[in-house]
Structure 1
């Protein structure tokens, strides 16, 4: 029962006991009211006075819905894009619903690994939303493996515009039927474009990758890319990467510079090269089972709030990437940015083999990959054309 309802109860019972003597506007019982009526009025006044005391206000009504979000990044609001973006989302949703949706965020893998959290999110009972890295996302929605294509994006603007485009939203819609997860948005995992880090040698050309045991997610697409470039892909869970590097089980790995900095991979590797051969992402999804039961206006609030949070995350990720790379060049023994010419060599080597693998794995469905690349090219050309028209003409 709410505080407001309690006040009404006090008023109703006092009126009835006092022979319907109505208090005046100040809440005082009328002169001549019964002793019981005066006592009830005094009790009501006391309750109202307590409600005005700071720190003693009546508790807010319980939320009708809880939206628990699980992710692997630290809860720190300064060293990754996920935590602050979700905090902003929490504020937007709780404000817009008057607290009727209670958003609860758990980072650091507190609710389990990605696969476990995603499985629980499908049911929507203990976890309602989850953030997944590229490899895990592909295991819940097969088409997503196409997004890990080598050298898919030429720059950040194109990547951001593509992931926020109507085309990509349509691309992700079948995930609901396939996995029970509804797509909300894409964040740039530690900054998107990846950098190699390894213990053997500085990578300046494709030949330097030959024979290196590079840790990959359990993702066939990543394995295919590494084999195409001459490396030896070694699947290893995220939680075992630091140990694997320290013990020599693997020679290196690739993550965005922000990730390398956040998780201090310079402590277990010596060389880093910003190659940008893959754009790592975090896919944000919500349980369809839970989402479908929400009132329509609440669904709109979640979707629009997620759009703003994703836009904020892009900017934060870009900053983290720059800081991460600057710190990499201070803390690794050597750092190197791959030249455009060498990127083109790697692209020419890896993309045909990757396309061949897609045809083997997806059959006729691989044509979707050609459409995807065409859309990326179209967006890139349109962004450049628009920039020239707006700022040069």
Structure 2
């Protein structure tokens, strides 16, 4: 890996980040485990699409748009049943369901996918993407497709990238303006080793935990804080059990629209094209909603009593320096050439 180039890129990327970043529907009751495979040709095929977030989140509203597009364009030959709030399980459970053919669609962040495809850990390098616009260019381009092409080997098909957004830190102990303020805080993270090691390097005490367990853990004091985009923080009502929010923007987190390969392969070529295009179109709609929501929900969090703390450029650069050894370690695991190609793609997207 060209270490000098990697280190050189992080500093201007951080500076750019500072300047560039700032529903409803009918839900079916959750089916029993071990559903049937796709129906034979000529019968209505059912897509059970589940997510962990609630029915007010832009992700679920995007899923409803996907449902509308698919059912309309297939003239009812494919029915999309939508499940929110972890009704079908957490991200890992639902992804395993896709592999087994007992579920058809889920839309996890990239972090849980790294448990199945280690190369996806690259998306969770802190401070990788400097802005949403750069992320769009890279994810919708050749580099993003390269990662989607890794999924079929796991009996998964990646149809599109949606958006979770920049992750920010909350806690109920003290304002966090620097890495020093993180020391000793028990922070819930996703079940992802890179996240755990990065937060340890920042001095925190990270605790992996399923998303569906998080509110109760915050309420009971099992953990002091968590990290998620503003929309998730607000819609999951973490402001009821957290006092402080900081714009760490430490990771830009995409969602990946996953479909069971077993189910996808059972569709006609025309139906495959319909679900592919619908996933992309619904994803573009979801990104727009998500960005509007994140801006609004930060204001709402403050109105409802959370203390907002701005992270300075100097403090963010200190965080970069602290986690640099972790990134070097994972670059070797993932493949230094692949990591460098990602940074090259990000650099090119800024020009």
Give the structure-1-normalised TM-score. Answer: 0.75
Structure 1 segment 108-123 matched on structure 2, within 5 A: 108-123=85-100
Contact 1:255 1:280 in 2 (8 A): no
Q: In the alignment, is the contact (CA less than 8 A) between 1:96 and 1:301 conserved in 2?
A: yes
> 2:62 is matched with which residue?
85
Out of 36, 47, 58, which is 1:67 matched to?
47
Within a 5 Å distance, the mapping from 1:8-27 to structure 2 comes to none
Alpha-carbon distance in 2 for matches of 1:195, 1:116: 25
CA distance in 1, matches of 2:73, 2:336: 42
For structure 1, which runs of at least 5 residues remain unmatched after alignment? 1-61, 382-393
> Are 2:65 and 2:282, in contact at CA under 8 Å, matched by a contact in 1?
yes
Pairwise CA distance, 1:249: 2.1
Q: Displacement of 1:359 after TM fit?
A: 4.3
Write the mapping of 1:1-393 to structure 2, written as runs, cut at 5 A.
63-75=43-55, 79-124=56-101, 126-177=102-153, 179-189=154-164, 192-350=165-323, 352-359=324-331, 361-362=333-334, 365-381=335-351
Q: Deviations over 1:313-362 (max 9, x none)?
A: 11010011011111122224411232233222322332x22322214544
Maintained 8 Å contact 2:85/2:212? no
Q: Secondary structure at the match of 1:132?
A: coil
Q: 1:324 to 1:230 in 2, by over 3 A?
A: same
Q: Are the counterparts in 1 of residues 54 and 236 from structure 2 also a CA contact under 8 Å?
A: no
Q: Which moved more, 1:207-216 or 1:256-265?
A: 207-216
Structure 2 residues without counterparts, runs of 5 or longer: 1-41
Partner residue, 2:3: none
Deviation of 1:287 after TM superposition, in Å, equals 0.8
Distance in structure 1 (CA, Å) of the matches to 2:306 and 2:69: 43
User: Max radius of gyration: which structure?
Assistant: 1
Structure 1 residues 244, 290: closer, same or farther in 2, change over 3 A? same
Moved over 4 A (4+): none
2: CA distance, partners of 1:267 / 1:327: 12
CA contact (8 A) 1:160 1:314 kept: no
SS in 2 for 1:99: coil
C-alpha RMSD of matched pairs (Å): 1.7
Q: Which has the higher contact order (CA 8 A, sep 6+)?
A: 2
Q: How many residues align?
A: 310
